[in-house]
């Protein structure tokens, strides 16, 4: 094992793409809490998924730029003023990608291409945020978990565009000597997640007196990690990760969807079977599972949220306390799901 733990690159100014989205906004909060010496620039197009309110409490401590990652002139100016880019910006929802893949190709593929060209021009370090979905899915009884060496086998338009972006990053590292790292993380939960996603959708349904909705039989398994643990891992990779390397991020949090809904119902004080089954997602990946031993052993990283029940209870409380944040998105989101019969 190479000892990279002592190396810590000095980062003075970081460009966070997609910093008004779920994980990006939490990354900004985490950075301001734990890295007071780092100045933060957010670049975000404020699509339906971006929400300036997620940054309201830190607005005066950051520079916010409303713009698109495919805008090469803007990127050139911003990247040239920073010494690190952490690239979260993406179209991120599988169901949307099945309805209209076009923005996924534009943002996830062409947007990442634009970022790569900008960091290449300016010799700036890049950390590319990706997903475990690039590896496809596993059977429920498969003893294997995804590792850095697992072959790519994406299923949905979303995961295919994320896989494409990863491959571009790898090619720019090898062909042009760009200094980049990649992380492939499992399903995140926590504050500021859009109500279209599974956990916030069910929490806000429960608050609204609507029964939670499980796709198909609810047997599909996701490997849940709290968003703060994802972001502490990203900083561990920025600090000590080897350029050109990929790191899996996960916290051993496998749960089937039915179990998650039952736990939420219990936490909300309702009968554990008070949910409905709805039509399944086409091509629905069965199971994701992460082997994060490279991250843990090389970079000494460990998650802080080790009990899913506690993390979920805290997330439920956050949505109860922050209705003004999610309420404006709820009706439109449910109307979209109603059109899909889900
Ligand atoms: P999100 O949809 O909540 O946020 C995406 C953000 O990107 C939004 O603020 C949006 O306005 C912005 N954006 C979209 N297109 C843009 C463009 N062309 N230019 C500038 N900004 C643009 O997504 P998220 O869940 O926070 O995911 C962030 C990243 O993490 C994505 O790359 C995603 O693939 C990856 N990821 C997500 C998860 C998860 O569980 N949510 C897990 C692993 C990896
Ligand atoms: O694995 C990482 C990925 O996790 C990220 O790359 C994606 O950006 C992120 O959206 C997430 O993808 P999923 O498709 O796994 O997440 P989603 O929240 O859409 O769904 C989680 C599971 O819950 C999935 O099996 C589908 C199911 N589901 C979802 C919704 C919205 C339901 O059963 N009911 C629902 O209402």
Average pLDDT over residues 150-169: 98
User: How sure is the predictor about 5, in pLDDT bands with cuts at 50, 70 and 90?
Assistant: very low
User: How sure is the predictor about 4, in pLDDT bands with cuts at 50, 70 and 90?
Assistant: very low
User: Which of 10-14, 57-61, 284-288 is predicted with the least confidence, judged by mean pLDDT?
Assistant: 10-14
End-to-end C-alpha distance for the chain, whole angstroms: 48
Q: Name 10's Cβ contacts closer than 8 Å, sequence gap at least 6.
A: none
Report residue 228 as tokens.
């703060």
pLDDT (0 to 100) of residue 7? 56
What tens digit of pLDDT does each residue of 256-313 get?
Answer: 999 999 999 999 999 999 999 999 999 999 999 999 999 999 999 999 999 999 999 9
pLDDT (0 to 100) of residue 2? 45
Centre of ligand 2 to C-alpha 189, Å, is 11
Pairing verdict, β 39-44 and 13-17? parallel
| Per-domain boundaries in the chain | 2-192+224-253+287-305
Task: Please name which ligand lies nearest the alpha carbon of 189.
Answer: 1
Cα 93–chain centre separation: 10
Report residue 119 as tokens.
């960091």
Average pLDDT over residues 233-248: 98
User: Is 2-192+224-253+287-305 CATH 3.40.50.720?
Assistant: yes
What tens digit of pLDDT does each residue of 161-215 get?
Answer: 999 999 999 999 999 999 999 999 999 999 999 999 999 999 999 999 999 999 9
Atom of ligand 2 nearest to the CA of 212: 36
Q: Bridge-partner residues for 247, per DSSP?
A: 183
11 versus 228: which is more confidently predicted?
Answer: 228
Average pLDDT over residues 317-326: 98
Q: How many percent of the chain have pLDDT more than 90?
A: 96
Distances (CA, A) of 136 to 133, 155, 285, 299: 5, 6, 7, 26
Report whether residue 94 contacts ligand 2, using a CB cutoff of 6 Å: yes
User: How sure is the predictor about 319, in pLDDT bands with cuts at 50, 70 and 90?
Assistant: very high
Testing ligand 1's pocket by substitution, the residue of 19, 21, 183 carrying the most ligand atoms inside 8 A of its CB is 21
Task: Please name which ligand lies nearest the alpha carbon of 203.
Answer: 2
Residue 3 confidence (pLDDT) above 50: no
């Amino acid at each position: 094992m190479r000892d990279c733990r002592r190396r810590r690159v000095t980062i003075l100014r970081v460009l966070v793409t997609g910093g008004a989205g779920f994980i990006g906004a939490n990354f900004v909060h985490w950075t301001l809490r734990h890295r007071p010496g780092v100045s933060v620039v957010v670049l975000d197009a404020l699509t339906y998924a971006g929400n300036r309110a997620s940054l309201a409490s830190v607005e005066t401590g950051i520079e916010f730029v409303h713009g698109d990652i495919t805008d090469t002139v803007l990127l050139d100016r911003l990247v040239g003023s920073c010494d690190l880019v952490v690239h979260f910006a993406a179209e991120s929802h599988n169901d949307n990608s099945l309805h209209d893949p076009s923005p996924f190709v534009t943002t996830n593929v062409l947007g990442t291409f634009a970022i790569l060209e900008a960091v290449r021009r300016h010799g700036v370090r890049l950390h590319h945020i990706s997903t475990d979905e690039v590896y496809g899915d596993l059977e429920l009884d498969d003893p294997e978990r995804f590792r850095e060496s697992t072959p790519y086998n994406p299923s949905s338009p979303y995961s295919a565009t994320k896989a494409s972006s990863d491959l571009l990053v790898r090619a720019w590292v090898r062909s042009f000597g760009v200094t980049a790292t990649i992380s492939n993380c499992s399903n995140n939960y926590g504050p500021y997640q859009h109500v279209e996603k599974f956990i916030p959708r069910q929490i806000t349904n429960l608050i609204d007196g609507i029964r939670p909705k499980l796709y198909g039989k609810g047997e599909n398994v996701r490997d849940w990690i709290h968003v703060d643990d994802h972001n502490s891992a990203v900083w561990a990779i920025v600090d000590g990760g080897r350029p050109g390397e990929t790191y899996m991020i996960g916290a051993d949090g496998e749960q089937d969807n039915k179990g998650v809904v039952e736990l939420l119902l219990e936490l909300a004080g309702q009968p554990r079977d008070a949910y409905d089954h709805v039509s399944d997602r086409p091509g629905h990946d069965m199971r994701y599972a992460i082997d994060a031993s490279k991250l843990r052993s090389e970079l000494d990283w460990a998650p802080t949220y080790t009990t899913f029940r506690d993390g979920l209870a805290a997330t439920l409380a956050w949505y109860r306390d922050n209705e003004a944040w999610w309420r404006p998105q709820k009706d439109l989101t449910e109307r979209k799901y109603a059109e899909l019969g889900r």
